[in-house]
Amino acid sequence: MNITIVGTGYVGLVSGTCLADLGHSVHCVDINEEKVTLMKNGQVPIYEPQLEEVFLRNIKGGRLFFTTDLSEAMRVSNVIFLALPTPPGEDGSADLSYVLEVAGQIGDLMTEYTLIVNKSTVPVGTSEKVYNLIKSKTQIPFDVVSNPEFLREGYAVEDFMNPERVIVGASSQKAFEIMDKIYLSLTNAGAKMIKMDEKSSELTKYASNSFLATKITFMNEIANYCEKVGADVDKVRLGMGSDQRIGNRFLFPGVGYGGSCFPKDVKALIKSGKEVGYTFEILESVEEVNQRQKTILVPEVEKYLGNLKNKQIAIWGLAFKENTDDIREASSLEIIEMLLNKGAKIRAYDSIAVKNVKKILGNKIEYAINMYECIEGADALIIVTEWGEFRNPHFDILEKKMNNKAIFDGRNLYNLDELQIHGFYYKSIGRKLING
Ligand SMILES: NC(=O)c1ccc[n+]([C@@H]2O[C@H](COP(=O)([O-])OP(=O)(O)OC[C@H]3O[C@@H](n4cnc5c(N)ncnc54)[C@H](O)[C@@H]3O)[C@@H](O)[C@H]2O)c1
Ligand SMILES: O=c1ccn([C@@H]2O[C@H](COP(=O)(O)OP(=O)(O)O[C@H]3O[C@H](CO)[C@@H](O)[C@H](O)[C@H]3O)[C@@H](O)[C@H]2O)c(=O)[nH]1
């Protein structure tokens, strides 16, 4: 099939590339000219493991094209995926302006039956809004489908190609049939397609993300409580997670959830609830607890070092999680801001996300070229992201290079006994303080 993807960010580029790999001809459209030029030159503009290989294979195979011109793409394809941003507005609601703007353009450009497939995360009722907007512009038949995306950054290609479910919300048989064809190779390989109405489909996405955010937050609260009563959250996590009704994934406590999805989707669902007179009390608490959790280690560093003025703090990890260059709503940014306000000096290291942080923080902090340069002369080390390279450091090098042997671990990377032996002051999340 010929497919157009509008928006080539994490979702659009991964979906487009993977759909091309399933044999479709895919025309990716983006308004960002710089990005489109890069892609036309065979460069992937984002960091996403496995993506480059599949991207290059499909460009070479003549199935993946890039343009800034929506009309050019629409001339060859009448299935259009929207993978546009839906960032939080001032009041927390999802900003639909990108989606509605492109929907309007589609309405103006359509010349034959068109299927509009919305992959962006949008509030309940958006399919209807998109439908009404296009309907106001054309007499040509069309359908609007909700097809939310569940991929995770860092594992996006793997997740797209092996989905636990493909959710399709539509109200026309023709639309369902086209969606069946698009995903045929995945459903033939065992992926489950769940068909429903558009509103339920839209809500499935928010409900899933909000549930996962709640699960993490619940564990963060259990971890905080563990510290008060002397229990170990890692043991509690393993004990709880072995009950299949609970499951062992997404139970890792830490310095809060971040990223471009959980924070904005929790906010948007709260706001959508308010619009119909419903208060999501659980989600309001989740947001509040998560906000607090993001900077929970700063007072701990203060407890250890006293006044932070001119203290040298090393930060390992800037991305909101491992395997991505994305720093949207990253805990690192909030921790750094709080430390800077307290007069601390910061040297940070993240081999992949550093370029995005430099764009925001510039020379307010120093950037190390490797994890050991980062800790030279440090009064304390804070670990924010669980990159693999931080998991087995040479503790003897840390001991030699740091001013103090003090680690504040927001991701519980190390074995407590090992840190005890190495003689580090070691504060993690929901576990006992070592050498305190
Ligand atoms: N990032 C994720 O892991 C993820 C996963 C599932 C769902 N989602 C949802 O998917 C949507 C897209 O998220 P993302 O992270 O891929 O966004 P992104 O910000 O990475 O990419 C969006 C792209 O759209 C382009 N764009 C903006 N306006 C445009 C226009 N008028 N025409 C063409 N292109 C335009 C931008 O230039 C950018 O390249 C959001 O609703 C998000 O909530 C994201
Ligand atoms: O046990 C855990 C798991 C995750 N996190 C944090 O939660 C955030 C989100 O992590 P993750 O879900 O892996 O990343 P995203 O790429 O944001 O993916 C989420 O958001 C996407 C956008 O909607 C969805 O498509 C995915 O299904 C959903 O997992 C990160 O800050 C993680 O550090 C934890 O603190 N503990």
For the chain, domain boundaries: 2-196, 205-292, 295-427
CB atoms within 10 A of CB 309: 10
CA distances from 42 to 65, 76, 213 (A): 10, 22, 36
| pLDDT reported for residue 284 | 98
Q: Whose CA is closest to 80, among 5, 145, 167, 23?
A: 5
Annotated binding site for substrate: 150-153, 205, 250-254, 258, 321
Q: What is the pLDDT of residues 280-304, one digit of tens each?
A: 999 999 999 999 999 999 999 999 9
Percent of the chain whose predicted confidence (pLDDT) is above 90 = 100
Amino acid present at 111: T
- Does 2-196 match 295-427 in CATH topology? yes
pLDDT band at 23 (very low <50, low <70, confident <90, very high): very high
Instruction: Provide the edge-to-edge strand list for the sheet that holds 114-118.
Output: 64-67, 25-29, 2-6, 79-82, 114-118, 142-146, 166-169, 193-196
The ligand 1 atom nearest the CA atom of 120: 41
Q: What is the pTM of this model?
A: 0.96
Q: Which residue's CA is the nearest one to ligand 2's atom 28?
A: 152
Q: In the predicted model, what is the mean pLDDT of residues 174-186?
A: 98
Residue 160 and residue 5 in contact, taking contact as beta carbons nearer than 8 Å: no
With residue 67 as reference, give the H or E element that holds it: strand 64-67
CATH number of 205-292: 1.10.1040.10
| pLDDT reported for residue 151 | 97
Token digits for 105? 């353009």
| pLDDT reported for residue 360 | 97
How far does the centroid of ligand 1 lie from the alpha carbon of residue 25, in Å? 20
CATH number of 295-427: 3.40.50.720
- Is the Cβ atom of 258 under 6 angstroms away from ligand 2? yes
Q: Which CATH number fits domain 2-196: 3.40.50.620, 2.60.120.260, 3.40.50.720, 1.10.3720.10?
A: 3.40.50.720
- What's the ipTM? 0.98
Q: What is the pLDDT of residues 139-166, one digit of tens each?
A: 999 999 999 999 999 999 999 999 999 9
The ligand 2 atom nearest the CA atom of 249: 1
